Amino acid sequence: MPDVKKSNKSMRSLKIGVVGCGQMGQKHARNCAAIKGVKVTAVADTNKKRAHTLADELKAVAYPDSETLVKEAGIDALIVATPPAEHGKDALAAIKAGKDVLIEKPIALDIDSAKSLRNAAGKSSVVNAVGFHLRYAPITQKAKSLIAGKRVTQVRSVTTTGYYLNFDMPLWFLQKKHSGGPLLEQTLHMIDEARYMVGDITRVFAQGDRIVKPELRKFDSEDTMVLAYKFANGALGTHADSTATTIFNWEIELFGVDWRLLVDYARKRLEGYFGDETVHLQLPDTDYHKIELEAFINDVRRRKNEAIRSDFKDATKTLETMLAGDRSLKTHAWEIVGK
């Protein structure tokens, strides 16, 4: 017999719920509205005014919390865009109800919560994804095609933001109990890209400090950080991170014996050389979050993880890598990933 549930989902309009109506929740909700056959029908947020504002914009219903939304809204899938510490509660309610789930990165702030989500998703048939949108970027896919089959010997990665200068983001980003600090809020994007392009990381060493505005006691996130990391295939990597730099940068540079490739996400360009051949490519401005969301929606319709490039299992590996770095900040020693 045909899979009736699968056939129905592939044909009818999908109903999406969004938990967390801040910056990313709004972005995902509006991207859903731009995809044919997809409608956000339910939203929830602890800030009731924010929830009702987004609900009014999308002609959706605002619910008091994720549990009520999942139980009563009749959704097909849930997008979780709450602070990371709340991901487990919101996502588990959806998984238990058989709803497909997209979680904003990171999957969680601690490994036990991440493994609970990974295991729950693994035991169910739900489509599951974590929002590492750079994996879906055309610039990433082009870079992967250029280095395919080549041996990577070294990686250099950078993330810089002006958080401690401009404060133009949710202030919880600078509070470790909510965001996990820069390692889990920003750095993990480039480290996840390093894993995606080169392979798993086995060891991490990290040092960090508060150099700019240390008098702001309500914030405890480092503003300056460096990491060294080693891949399972023997390649070595270094990372520089700042949340107190005026110019925004996200970049990863890969090296081989006779080649070099810089992937500059902030300026959407690829530069480097392969032997005597040079590379200078400028890619068009593209909404990577929308590409990511379309992949998730397509897999929801197919009822299987196929186009998704970061599921709960893989995102847990990235979290393990970042938590090794977090331990190193405290021990001042190399830490083993997954320890």
Q: What is the mean pLDDT of residues 43-52?
A: 96
In the predicted model, what is the mean pLDDT of the chain?
94
- Amino acid identity at 115: K
* Whether the Cβ atoms of residue 292 and residue 165 lie closer than 8 Å to each other: no
pLDDT reading at 214 higher than 70: yes
* Whether the Cβ atoms of residue 180 and residue 241 lie closer than 8 Å to each other: no
141-178: per-residue pLDDT in tens?
999 999 999 999 999 999 999 999 999 888 989 998 88
* Whether the Cβ atoms of residue 205 and residue 229 lie closer than 8 Å to each other: yes
Write out 149-218 in H/E/C secondary structure.
Answer: CCCCCEEEEEEECCHHHHCCCCHHHHCHHHHCCHHHHHHHHHHHHHHHHHCCEEEEEEEEECCCCCCCCC
Strand ranges in 45-132 using DSSP code E only, listed in sequence order: 61-63, 77-80, 100-104, 128-131
16-41: per-residue pLDDT in tens?
999 999 999 999 999 999 999 999 99
- The DSSP secondary-structure symbol of 246 reads S
Compute the distance between CA of residue 159 and CA of residue 194 in angstroms, rounded to an integer.
13
Q: What is the mean pLDDT of residues 175-195?
A: 93
pLDDT reading at 7 higher than 50: no
Whether 135-287+320-336 and 4-132+290-309 are alike in CATH topology: the answer is: no
Residue 336, beta-bridge partner list: 203
Residue 301 confidence (pLDDT): 95
Give me the residue label for tokens 């109990």.
177
Compute the distance between CA of residue 59 and CA of residue 274 in angstroms, rounded to an integer.
52
Residue 2 confidence (pLDDT): 42
Parse the chain into domains and list their residue ranges.
Answer: 4-132+290-309, 135-287+320-336
- Going by CATH, does the domain composed of 4-132+290-309 fall within 3.40.50.720? yes
Q: What is the mean pLDDT of residues 246-262?
A: 97
Distances (CA, A) of 88 to 38, 75, 117, 181: 25, 19, 7, 18
Q: What is the mean pLDDT of residues 62-80?
A: 95
Q: Retrieve residue 58's tokens.
A: 């999308």
100, 106, 109, 115: CA torsion to nearest 10? 50
Compute the distance between CA of residue 338 and CA of residue 319 in angstroms, rounded to an integer.
9
What CATH code would you report for 135-287+320-336? 3.30.360.10
pLDDT reading at 5 higher than 80: no
Tell me the DSSP string of 115-149.
HHHHHHHHHS---EEEE-GGGG-HHHHHHHHHHTT
